[in-house]
Amino acid sequence: MTTAFTGVFSCALVVNIIATLRSSKRVAIIFRFRTFRDGADDDAASTVSSPREGIIKSYLPVYLLAVFSDWVKGPYSYELYSSSDCYNYNPRDIYLLCSVVPFVSSIIFGTFLCGPLADIGGPKRMAMMFTIITALGNIAKHFRDFNVLMVGSILEGISASLLFTVFDSWLVRSHSCSVPAKIPSSAMAMSPSTQTPTLTPTPIPSLWLSRVFATAEYRNNIVAIGASLVSGMMTDATVFQPLAIAKQQDESNAVFYVGGVLNPFDLSTFALLLCGILIGVSWDENLTKEAEQKIEKVSKKFGTSVNSSETGTPSPWWRRYRSLLVDVSGEIITSREIWLCGIVCFLFESAMFIFVFSWTNAIAPITNEQDEIPFGLIFATFMFGCMTGTSVFTVLIDEMKVRNETIGEGLLLVATCTFIAMAFAKSIASTIFFFFLFEVSVGIYFPMMATMKSEIVPDCHRTTICNSYRIPFNLVMISFLSVSDYLSVYPELSFVICACMTGAAFFFQVKLGKHRKQKPLSRRSTLHETAFRDEGRQQKKIS
């Protein structure tokens, strides 16, 4: 059995190395896979390299520390609650603490509080709040008190919403506020009065964001592997024991615990401290022109002004909050691009998380009872699959100039086929191989979806809309975990459900691709498509 796991892991490692070398610009040039970008990219880079380099240097360390603080905690919340050596709660309480409360909290507070506050006040402030909220949730784990742990679970739900939305929002907003890249003549608008070309004040998203998203996702997977190793060592470093005991009570009723499975949470808190410091030092708060115009519109409507120097009374935050929710609701309902993107997002991510909860149940029946399943080796195989997918995405969109929507269609089709194959796989090697293929599609998905959101979702409502995408996802996960005990006996059924979800996502992705090709909603999307095609033509001429 170990040979099968080791063999698939070795193949995954080799494939990842080949894909990484293939996507690397320097190595690809040496082996003549691609040529130097002497055309449009160099001209644009000469004008925007400094701002964009500063954005990357500010974004990546902060983002990687944030995801490290999440990865390092791993599965230790469940172990803390369920283990007889720790808090030893019953299954009902564990279901509330690990599933219901965090997901419901993400729906309520993430969508209707944190998202609007980030769009009104800027993503930097909410990124700072992420570090504080997540650290408080980690501290709550030390208390063996159900009410305190419930508060910690609420904070975990808020933290998850912020982690998956605020950091990308800051990156896209910073790019939008940076120096505009060179816009091709075909993408310029003609002024009706002077008949001279005019430029939009918002720069083209271009391929730069796709490259940054791919780089961040690749390094995120490396961080995940390192975090799993560090957390294992931290757990074994000290013994789980009480630190404070309530008066006139024995050690079994201690109030505050330290050590053991709580050490990864302490390490997470330390990473969050560093993350918060970097945000405060290196990040700037960016409000887009669209956001400023929305705030000014609300101010005029209610007879107030955002600028206190004009009237002396700034627009009340609750009026801006109400106006933002109304605008977001209207955009989601009326914009076909936005709601199609949201459907694809929640279907794939729901299938991905169902897979996370189901793959162990699929392996256990086909392994020998006396053999131990190498979970660390399997997890590393998964991460190599994600890294391979990210490298494949870089080659497809950066070199081959494949449309982002087409990449999405391909990965969803591959994911659907792999889930069907998982349901019928009988051997360990074939099962792990199909797991690896699905993780490759996951690695392609995240930079693809991040790029698509950057083009479709308006900057002024980005965080709120992206959090609204997570509402159906959270509801699906609550429903799935409520019947997970039954589905654990039939993991094939879970894979069939995932195949149906990714198949439906493929259908909606095709609809989205056709819609964007025929009738782009925004001028930004039009400029991006034009620049994308022109850059592809220039690269072909250079080659």
Q: Using one digit for the tens of pLDDT, what is the confidence trace for 468-478?
A: 999 999 999 99
Are the C-beta atoms of residues 174 and 59 closer than 8 Å to each other?
yes
Q: What percent of the chain has pLDDT over 90?
A: 49
In one letter, which amino acid is 354?
I
Beta-bridge partners for 258: 241
Q: What is the dihedral of CA 155, 170, 323, 456, to 10 degrees?
A: -110
For residue 189, the 8-state DSSP code is E
Instruction: Give strand pairing partners of 190.
Output: 197
CA 189 to chain CA centroid, Å, is 35
pLDDT of 36 reads 43
Question: Cα–Cα distance between 81 and 101 in angstroms, integer?
Answer: 14
- Give the pLDDT band (50/70/90) at residue 43: very low
- Name residue, tokens 């408080």: 136
Tens-digit pLDDT profile for residues 352-381: 999 998 998 888 777 766 667 888 889 999
The pLDDT-based confidence of 289 (bands split at 50, 70, 90) is: low
Q: Which residues contact 472 (CB under 8 A, 6 or more apart)?
A: 346, 350
Residue type, position 292, single letter = E
Stretch among 213-222, 451-460, 481-490, 516-525 having the lowest mean pLDDT: 516-525
Residue 40 pLDDT exceeds 70: no
Rounded to an integer, the average pLDDT of 139-162 is 94
Of 16 and 310, more confident: 16
Mark residue 32 as left, alpha or beta (left: phi above 0; alpha: psi -120 to 50; beta: remaining): left
Place of tokens 């271009």: 206
- Domain 53-188+201-287 and domain 335-543, same fold? Reply is yes
- Domain segments of the chain as ranges: 53-188+201-287, 335-543
pLDDT score, position 201: 36
Q: Amino acid identity of 9?
A: F
Give me 156's structure tokens: 């975990």
Task: Write out the E strands in 200-325.
Answer: 241-245, 254-258
Query: How far out from the chain centre does Cα 543 lie?
Result: 35
Pair 239, 259: CB distance under 8 Å: yes
Question: Residue 189: pLDDT above 50?
Answer: no
Is residue 110 scored above 80 in pLDDT? yes
What confidence tier does 320 reach under pLDDT thresholds 50, 70, 90?
A: confident
Confidence class of residue 186 from pLDDT cuts 50, 70 and 90? very low
Task: Name which of 207, 180, 220 is nearest 454 in CA terms.
Answer: 207
What was the pLDDT predicted at 107? 93
In the chain, the amino acid numbered 63 is Y
Are 144 and 119 contacting, i.e. CB atoms less than 8 angstroms apart? no
- Indicate the CATH number for domain 335-543: 1.20.1250.20
- The whole-model pTM stands at 0.84
- pLDDT tier at 521, thresholds 50, 70, 90: very low
* Higher-scoring residue by pLDDT: 45, 281: 281
Tens digits of residue pLDDT in 190-249: 444 444 443 333 334 468 889 999 999 999 999 999 999 999 899 988 888 888 655 545
Q: Which residues contact 51 (CB under 8 A, 6 or more apart)?
A: 178, 179
Q: Return the higher-pLDDT residue of 429 and 150.
A: 150
Confidence bin at 267 (pLDDT 50/70/90): very high
Q: Are 314 and 305 in contact (CB under 8 A)?
A: yes
pLDDT for 47 beyond 50:
no
As beta bridge partners, residue 244 has 256
DSSP state of 427: S
The CATH number of the domain covering residues in 53-188+201-287? 1.20.1250.20
| C-beta of residue 375 within 8 angstroms of C-beta of residue 232 | no
CA 76 to chain centre: 21
